[in-house]
Homo-oligomer: A and B are copies of this chain.
């Protein structure tokens, strides 16, 4: 410990490794790391042929899901925990101050809401499509189609619309989800918002959700978002 400067530097930025999976929630963590200006290494994994996470990921955590962040000697699992940890430790500017109760509580609400309430319906939307496209004899297809449609029309679709209507309403009077500044909540929500259109189609469009489209345009202009996009494109080309 003779060189204090080195020692301080080590403390300020320990080695960070992001366990990243193709087409996954890990994308938004790259964006956050870029916003924070942290140095990090990406260990990238490709999805299997049937679109699952590879077994390899289990060497880091028994549930074998990405993203996983290895930082300060901890192995962090769950996107919202990773986001909270990074924001609390390296970027308090991405969290409303506690004194601003309304935005602070909205931030914490959204940290839970994104994966706890919204994403399950996104997963269900994928599953209804899977059921519809299941490889069955042609004379059975109308039946699998009907099951899929019933699930979709009766449950998944109305809930997705209600949830995106809710998100749209949050941006009525403010540019970001927890106030006037970008926070970790925006980063959490980027995944379902970026994926809404391509995953489900039709009901999600610019006319119905102008605030969400404007928000995505707004964040896409950020240099860190662009850098994250470039980084991911680069990582993907090497997979």
Q: How far is the CA of A165 from the CA of B112 in the complex (A)?
A: 24
Binds B, one of A37-45, A74-82, A227-235: A74-82
Give chain A's interface secondary structure class.
helix
Q: How far is the CA of A131 from the CA of B169 in the complex (A)?
A: 33
Contact assessment for A62 and B143 in the assembled complex, using a CB-CB cutoff below 8 Å: no
Instruction: Tell me how many residues of A have a C-beta within 8 Å of chain B.
Output: 43
Indicate whether A120 reaches chain B with its CB closer than 8 angstroms: yes
Chain A 118-172 residues near chain B, CB threshold 8 A:
119-120, 123-124, 127, 130-131, 134, 136, 140, 143-144, 147, 150-151, 162-163, 165-166, 169
Contact assessment for A81 and B112 in the assembled complex, using a CB-CB cutoff below 8 Å: yes
Indicate whether A93 reaches chain B with its CB closer than 8 angstroms: no
**With A63-B163, A162-B63 in contact, do A80 and B144 touch (Cβ < 8 Å)?**
no
**With A78-B109, A109-B77, A109-B81 in contact, do A62 and B115 touch (Cβ < 8 Å)?**
no
Interface centre among A65, A84, A85, A147 (most CB of B within 10 A): A147
The residue of chain B having its C-beta at the shortest distance from the C-beta of A109 within the complex is B81
Indicate whether A105 reaches chain B with its CB closer than 8 angstroms: yes
